[in-house]
Amino acid sequence: MNSNGYEIDGRSKTFVKLLDTSAKKFAIPYGVQIIGKNAFLACSSLKSVVIPTSVTSIEEDAFNGCSSLKSVVIPFSVTSIKDSAFSGCSSLIEIKVVENNPEYCSVGGVLFHRRQRKLIAYPARRNEREYIVPSGVTCIADDAFCECSSLKSLVIPASVKFIGKRMFVDCSSLTAIKVAENNPEYCTVDGVLFHRKQKKLIAYPAGRKEKEYVIFSGVTSIEDNAFSYCSSLESLVIPTSVTNIGETAFTDCPSLTEIKVAKNNSEYCTVDGVLFHKKQRGLITYPAGRNEEEYIIPSGVISIGGYAFWKCSFLKSVVIPSGITSIGCSAFRGCSSLKSVVIPSGVTNIGDTAFSCCFSLESIFIPASVTNIGVFAFIGCSSLVLHTPKGSYAEHYARENEIKLPSDSMYKSETFLNICLEIMQSMDEGDWGIKAIHPNLSNVGFFLYEFRRYLCMLARADGSFEPEEVDYINHFFDDVTLSDFEEPSDLTDDSYMYLIPEPFRTTVAQAWGLSKPFMVECYIRLYEMAGLEIISCDGEITKREIKMMTGYVRRLKEYAEEHYPGILIQDLAIDSDDFNTIAYHRNFCQSTYIPERNEYSASHVVHENVDDVFYLEEEGDRESRLKDNIDELYSLIGLDTVKASVSSLVNLIKVRELRAKKGIKQPPLSLHLVFSGNPGTGKTSVARILAKIYKELGVLSKGHLVEVDRSGLVAGYVGQTSLKTQEKIEEALGGVLFIDEAYTLAKDGGQDYGQEAIDTLLKAMEDYRSDLIVIVAGYADLMEKFLDSNPGLRSRFNTFIRFNDYTEDELYQIFASLCQRHDFSYDDACKEYLKRLFAAVYAKRNSKGFANGRTVRNYFEKVITQQANRLASGVNMDDSALMQFNLTDLKKAVQDLFGRKRE
């Protein structure tokens, strides 16, 4: 720490942070070599900064949030500037680079990397309406045009091969992106940017004014931030072809009210305009423009995705069902009206910044099941009181992060008791309820009498009453005596369950007459909450206590639903059989859900079509599809060794799954594979089938195949290969990444970027080991050298499958199969010729040009061409002629394919 208001790491010579965020001018001390990540974060007053010639590196987000910074000079010493280093500098007009800097330069104030031909940063405050990216630029960095509010049109040349993330975020005036027609990677349709080969929607210009946009069929992916800051868009239509949608695809779309998905889309669906992932049963996006104050997440959803409710400013309450297990990063970030949230038992993870900037959030319950809460999960929630069981992970998190916890003496049931007393008092004042029948009696007194009986009954449910239980009841009544515990002794647990206290009867009748269901719900919540507290306060819960408490509360709910038409009490508590969920230690603390007092709460609405949206596949369906996939494998000609190896893999995975279900420990298993063999031996076909088999076995979530070779992974400049490789990895997530001729990644000598691709792959195989399979393929001897080229490769690829060359008989079978599949036939003379031909081909299989099954397919296509040439010159064009090959067709096709005649 420095007395001048900044922090420097002396060892790494890194400028860590400017502590004086009100500074307007600042000179970084000489000797600093690195300007660290977020070094000037939120220094919104900073107008000028001097970077000394000792600085060599500027990290990502270094100047993030410097909204007053207008100009920056990069000295010759700087050789590394990370992408997004100047993101959030909304007043930046120009970035200057001294002329003798070997790595960077500026053209008109725009920052470029010389050797990488990369556009790093376009100053956000430049006021030109159109910008033409210079020809020769091959890469546009992350955040390059972020917050460029004046820019209306951008022209991208044919040379650009890579465009980074968040490139057009908050470009509020941008209406059109134009791409040169001969650009091989990118294109635009009506000003919307797409990736040609990958069929991705990259960016929809935020300044467009149309209210509905229909994504055309064929697009398979919607990228992160694709529609960010599109302030006019109200409705979006997603076609069947889309199988991937980025988490941040629809952030900051304040007018978006509904998302529509084609009914036959296999991955996604919508319920009332809210976007869900079918198979993963996740809530993806709740449109920020919806104006409802309460939303009930449908039953069956198991995860809330990152950014799912981002800046949904109308929402005051979100009801989370019991099946949810995870809440993604920034899931509720910026929900400024959200007041109270109950996180059900079963949730284990709350992501980074999940509830940050929820300024109105007053209460949140986090169960003991939560074992991870991300950084800044509740930052900006100044009024928040966090409720959680004593000693839980969430309690420790709250204390470490200075989040308020309720007083140790405060029981959750007190909230409901006070509301119920208010209700009873109002009934007394209006001469309602019991007072209308017996003027000398009080609703308040009658209610307290029955409530005390209920607590005493539960206190002695296990045959005795403990000091902690007496203390608990005295917290409410102060005058509890032994007779109070003995009074309900004539009531067995079975009989007491069916007794409905008179105050509850009158409350239900009164609530129905006044159309105020919250009166009934609060009454039930009190009995539910207090029951849980008293049976757990002595640190020991018995099944008999559980049975009596839950049975009694269930009877109250049933009575309410019988006598208040249309009311539906939301289930927050446990079922009588679910013993373990409340078997906590002393001072058990349960969720607090307070119903709306003035109107019928939206929590009484049930989605009727939930079962049509989310589905759990039956085990029989999986087995049927698995059998179909294995049958497809066995229908391939030849490949006996391959089929046996795959069968062994399937059996191994099935047994491991069975062991896991029974809780038996098992050693780790790598399912990444090496396919070795000559070209045309069916490696890609088998990989595609294997991907589907892995999906049905539960190893993969999608089961698709992404096929690449060296050119699809390796770029020509430092740093680009890892990006290119990562892009393919992300495309393959949930499926198989099949790398053909993988040995070409490990070339010898020179400056080759194949090793960068290998390093990226190895890291991804570790990071995504639960949902990514990598198969490397190539010639057997070259694959051995490839695996020896890196110590980490052989340890990750321990399953080898050898693809032998097809025999002469198998080559003939392949040809015959192609004919049968495409309605072609031939006579016995042709059959004899074909067998002699494939015997000769097999005998010379080591010669140049032999490609096994691929050679057969090529020959088949030549035969079709020769038949067409023959028929086109004749008059006999009946069905039999169109379907028949003759000997001449076969012989001419040989000459056409091999360049000489073979007999």
Q: Residue 748: what pLDDT?
A: 55
Mean pLDDT of 109-119: 93
Residue 566, pLDDT > 60, answer yes
Q: Residue 595: what pLDDT?
A: 45
Residue 659, pLDDT > 50, answer yes
Dump pLDDT digits (tens) for 121-141.
999 888 889 999 999 999 999
Does residue 201 or residue 537 have the better pLDDT?
201
Mean pLDDT of 484-489: 52
Confidence band, pLDDT 50/70/90 cuts, at residue 513: confident
CA 299 vs. chain centroid, Å, equals: 19
The answer to whether 481 and 515 are in contact (CB under 8 A) is no
| Lowest mean pLDDT segment, chosen from 292-296, 444-448, 479-483 | 479-483
Q: Residue 633: what pLDDT?
A: 86
Q: Residue 179: what pLDDT?
A: 94
Does residue 264 or residue 408 have the better pLDDT?
264
Q: Residue 52: what pLDDT?
A: 95
The answer to whether 343 and 365 are in contact (CB under 8 A) is yes
Instruction: Compute the Cα dihedral for 231, 233, 235, 238 and give only its sign.
Output: negative
Amino acid, res. 551: G
Residue 101, pLDDT > 50, answer yes
Mean pLDDT of 62-75: 91
Q: How far apart are CA 14 and CA 55, in angstroms?
A: 9
Give the H or E element holding residue 49. strand 48-50
Amino acid, res. 659: R
Report the candidate in 723, 890, 588, 823 with the shortest Cα–Cα distance to residue 163. 723
Mean pLDDT of 804-815: 88
Residue 587, pLDDT > 60, answer no
The answer to whether 453 and 480 are in contact (CB under 8 A) is no
Q: What is the pTM of this model?
A: 0.52
Residue 41, pLDDT > 50, answer yes
| 3-state helix, strand and coil shares in percent for the chain, rounded to the nearest 5 | 35, 15, 50
Report the candidate in 218, 254, 251, 250 with the shortest Cα–Cα distance to residue 236. 250
Considering the chain, what is the average pLDDT of its residues? 82
Torsions phi, psi of 148, nearest 5?
-80, 85
Give the H or E element holding residue 550. helix 543-563
Residue 410, pLDDT > 70, answer no
Confidence band, pLDDT 50/70/90 cuts, at residue 63: very high
Residue 328, pLDDT > 90, answer yes
Q: Residue 204: what pLDDT?
A: 94
Q: How far apart are CA 591 and CA 389, in angstroms?
A: 10
In this structure, are strands 268-271 and 244-245 parallel, antiparallel, or unpaired? unpaired
The answer to whether 92 and 68 are in contact (CB under 8 A) is no
Q: Residue 486: what pLDDT?
A: 55
Mean pLDDT of 196-209: 92
Q: Residue 126: what pLDDT?
A: 87
Q: How far apart are CA 122 and CA 150, in angstroms?
A: 12
Confidence band, pLDDT 50/70/90 cuts, at residue 17: very high
Give the H or E element holding residue 456. helix 443-459
Q: Residue 717: what pLDDT?
A: 67
Q: How far apart are CA 348 and CA 369, in angstroms?
A: 5
Report the candidate in 241, 256, 332 with the shortest Cα–Cα distance to residue 295. 332
List of residues 6+ apart from 32 with CB closer than 8 A: 8, 13, 14, 15, 52, 54, 55
Residue 851 is encoded by which pair of tokens?
């490609």
Residue 201, pLDDT > 80, answer yes
Residue 602, pLDDT > 70, answer no
Q: Residue 775: what pLDDT?
A: 92
- In percent, how much of the chain has pLDDT > 90? 29
Neighbours of 271 (CB within 10 A): 17
**DSSP state for residue 599 in the 8-state scheme:** S
Q: Residue 576: what pLDDT?
A: 34
Residue 337, pLDDT > 70, answer yes
Q: Residue 902: what pLDDT?
A: 45
Amino acid, res. 661: K
| Lowest mean pLDDT segment, chosen from 45-49, 64-68, 436-440 | 436-440
Confidence band, pLDDT 50/70/90 cuts, at residue 868: confident
Residue 314, pLDDT > 80, answer yes
Name the packing angle between helices 502-514 and 413-429 (round to 10°).
70
The answer to whether 712 and 729 are in contact (CB under 8 A) is no
Q: Give the best-scoring range by mean pLDDT among 243-252, 342-351, 882-891.
A: 243-252
Q: Residue 332: what pLDDT?
A: 96
Q: Residue 409: what pLDDT?
A: 44
Torsions phi, psi of 33, nearest 5?
-105, -25
Residue 581, pLDDT > 60, answer no
Q: Residue 220: what pLDDT?
A: 94
Dump pLDDT digits (tens) for 712-728.
888 766 667 887 888 88
Neighbours of 328 (CB within 10 A): 22
Dump pLDDT digits (tens) for 671-713.
888 998 888 888 888 988 988 888 888 788 778 888 988 888 8
Amino acid, res. 11: R
Q: Give the best-scoring range by mean pLDDT among 20-34, 583-597, 637-651.
A: 20-34
Residue 820, pLDDT > 50, answer yes
The answer to whether 324 and 302 are in contact (CB under 8 A) is yes
Q: Residue 607: what pLDDT?
A: 33
Residue 604, pLDDT > 70, answer no
Confidence band, pLDDT 50/70/90 cuts, at residue 858: confident
Mean pLDDT of 165-178: 87
